Homo-oligomer: A and B are copies of this chain.
Amino acid sequence: MNEQQLDQVFLALANSSRRLLLDLIAARPGCTLSQLQAEFSISRIGLMKHLQVLLDAGLVMAQKQGRERPLYFNPVPLQQIHQRWGDQYRDFWASQLLRLKAAVEQPEHTTTELTTKDLL
């Protein structure tokens, strides 16, 4: 997965309507946009644009059948990101307070207000 594809996938996920849409499609494979419309408060065209973003990112697959277009969730991009991020930041996640420790142990730490809350 190249950088531009990563951009597209993360951008697609950076909107709560699109995340909901993706969740619904994952939960109901083969559903159509009209069937999901009731779950949203935005217009059909607005929803269709969100769907297009998910399609462009490869997170949803569609095949036109007659006048309907059933939708399918594609887990592969999320899985790839999950694995890559997991590998890249495994060391950090092994001890998530490591960074806080490093920050607080700076010589001038007494002048800052960095607390555990700031990291959550």
A interface with B by C-beta (< 8 Å): 3-4, 6-7, 10-11, 13-16, 19, 23, 26, 29-30, 58, 61, 63, 65, 70, 72-76, 78-79, 82, 85-86, 88-89, 92-93, 96, 99, 102-103, 106, 108-109, 111-112, 114, 118-120
Q: A6-B16, A10-B11, A75-B96 are in contact. List 12 more A-B contacts (CB 8 A).
A: A11-B11, A23-B88, A30-B102, A61-B114, A63-B108, A65-B106, A72-B103, A75-B93, A75-B99, A78-B89, A79-B93, A79-B96
CB of A102 within 8 A of CB of B14, answer no
List, sorted by A's number, 17 A–B pairs whose CB atoms are closer than 8 Å.
A7-B14, A7-B15, A10-B14, A23-B88, A26-B92, A30-B102, A30-B106, A63-B103, A63-B109, A63-B112, A72-B103, A73-B99, A74-B99, A74-B119, A76-B96, A78-B89, A79-B96
Closest residue of chain B to A9 (Cβ to Cβ) is B14
Closest residue of chain B to A20 (Cβ to Cβ) is B3
